[in-house]
Amino acid sequence: MHMPTHLFRVLKLLGACAACAVLASGPARAATTVDNGTLAEWIYGAEHILRGKTSAAVMGMKIKKTSFEREYDLLVMTDDRAPAAKVLLRMLGPALWRDNATLKVGEKISFYDPRTNRITVMGNSMLGDNWMGSHFTNDDLMRETDLARHYSYVLVGSAPGKDAGGQAVEDYTIALTPLPTAPVSWGKVIYRLYVGADRQAYPVRVEYFRRANDDKPVRALVYEDVRVMDGKAVPTRLTMNVLDQPGEYTRIEYKRIRFGLDLKSDEFTERAFR
């Protein structure tokens, strides 16, 4: 099978030969006062914990629905060094889907289908569409919505918890409301995180509500299995649960990740699709 040179280089940096081959805690109590600037830093840090300035990761995705089950192997590369953030998500397997890719540069998102050799530019109306049949949307994986920038936030509670090493931490529950002109899909978001001894904010659970006055969320993203990868403690299992469809979920398992790679600009262009 042909593999573009830049893709082989990134996978080699990851040490991802295997990927090349297969191409809860109690109720929250009243919260102490935390200023908005600190809340913004926590949310931004939690949302970017698996990215850094640059990153490349190999992951598995399992989709479980009542009608089918499907598994993918994926390569995701990110570059947040410039204001126009870049994300490239490329499918490594199975063979039927290999080399399908999604690219985000700034606000432009493009899809590539190798079977037709066709590139499609995504409109804003497609942000909420499910990515490749999963329970994650295009917006979830491409990070077009910036929770720290597009929402206002209020700390609504805290509770004692433990980090991955069993050390006592404080869990924080934050309510996010979209700003009046923000281009977002969710009318309310409830974000749980904790701040470790390293001052890093770790995401725990994110609940998404269609409307601000809804009592029940429609889905929940759970972060688990914090491990040290490339010298950094990160959650390695992300599960998106559909709350009105019990038993349905999409789970992402990180197999390898590297931070601070010298990713080239041409690795985030449409030329990288082929």
Give the Cα separation of 222 and 166 in Å (integer).
19
Question: Which CATH number is correct for 5-23+26-273, 2.50.20.10, 3.30.420.40, 2.30.40.10, 3.40.50.1100?
Answer: 2.50.20.10
Q: Which residues contact 246 (CB under 8 A, 6 or more apart)?
A: none
The whole model's pTM is what?
A: 0.86
* Domain definitions of the chain by residue range: 5-23+26-273
Q: Please report the pLDDT score of residue 23 as a whole number.
A: 42
Of 127, 240, 135, the closest CA to residue 183 belongs to 127
pLDDT at position 33 is 77
Give me the tens of pLDDT residue by residue for the chain, a chain 274 residues long: 566 666 666 666 666 444 444 444 444 555 567 898 999 999 999 999 999 899 999 999 999 999 999 999 999 999 999 888 899 999 999 999 999 999 998 888 899 999 999 999 987 767 778 999 999 998 888 876 789 889 999 999 999 998 888 899 999 999 999 999 888 889 999 999 999 988 999 999 999 999 999 999 999 999 999 999 999 999 999 999 999 999 999 999 999 999 999 999 889 988 888 7
- What pLDDT sits at residue 2? 61
pLDDT computed for residue 1 by the predictor: 55
